[in-house]
Amino acid sequence: MKKKKKCRKCKNQYTPKLINGLPTSAYCNKCLVIVNREKREKKREEKKLREIKKKERKINSKKYQKKTWSKLVKELDRVFSLFIRQRDGQCYTPTPKCNNVLQNGHLISRRHMSTRWDEINCNGQCGSHNNLHNYQPEIYTSEFIRKNGQQVYLDLEKRSRQIKQWSIPELEEKIQYYKNKLK
């Protein structure tokens, strides 16, 4: 006669399968199916959790943040340039020599992050004048001072010397702000 055993889950008597005289399971057949399913579900949950944690670690990693930051700077450059070109519609220093492809001309170089997206520092310029600004900055500068006055220029210069580290949320906010302004 086969030896009966008490199922660990339902506590009913069952006849276990034996290998080398030892029971292969502490559960009856019915409960074994349930227990195995629960184990699989638990494993799936754990895997999901591990993936979420992995993703979180990635998002918080320096490398990922740096990459995201660079992408956002590029995108803000693009959107802000469209805004400036739309706002101005013509070269800041119009001459018959202007080519009509308008660009976003930075009076103070965009290397200065604090004034990179400053609406006062940036004006629509044709490609020729934007390029010329690298060699003869006095053209744009004197036109700027003539239009705005010396004090506005000095304030801008002071602003440009401030150290500004744009955060990812700040960049995202600015992108949205200028996107909303585009027609």
CA dihedral 101, 104, 110, 116 (to 10 degrees): -160
| Binding footprint of Zn ion on the chain (CB under 5 A) | 7, 9-10, 28, 31, 91, 98, 126, 129
DSSP sequence for 87-114:
HH-S-SS--TT--S-EEEEESS-TTSGG
7 vs 122, beta carbon nearer Zn ion: 7
Q: Helix, strand or coil for residue 12?
A: coil
Closest CA to 106 of 57, 159, 67: 159
126 vs 171, beta carbon nearer Zn ion: 126
How open is the CA angle 85-87-92, to the nearest 5 degrees? 65
Q: Smallest distance, Å, CB 21 to Zn ion?
A: 21
24 vs 176, beta carbon nearer Zn ion: 24
Q: Smallest distance, Å, CB 97 to Zn ion?
A: 7
28 vs 72, beta carbon nearer Zn ion: 28
Q: Smallest distance, Å, CB 28 to Zn ion?
A: 3
Q: Smallest distance, Å, CB 25 to Zn ion?
A: 10
Closest CA to 118 of 130, 108, 128: 108
Q: What's the Rg (C-alpha) of the chain?
A: 34
Please state the length of the chain.
Answer: 183
Q: Any residues with CB less than 8 A from the CB of 68 and at least 6 apart, and which? A: 168
39 vs 66, beta carbon nearer Zn ion: 39
Q: Smallest distance, Å, CB 141 to Zn ion?
A: 15
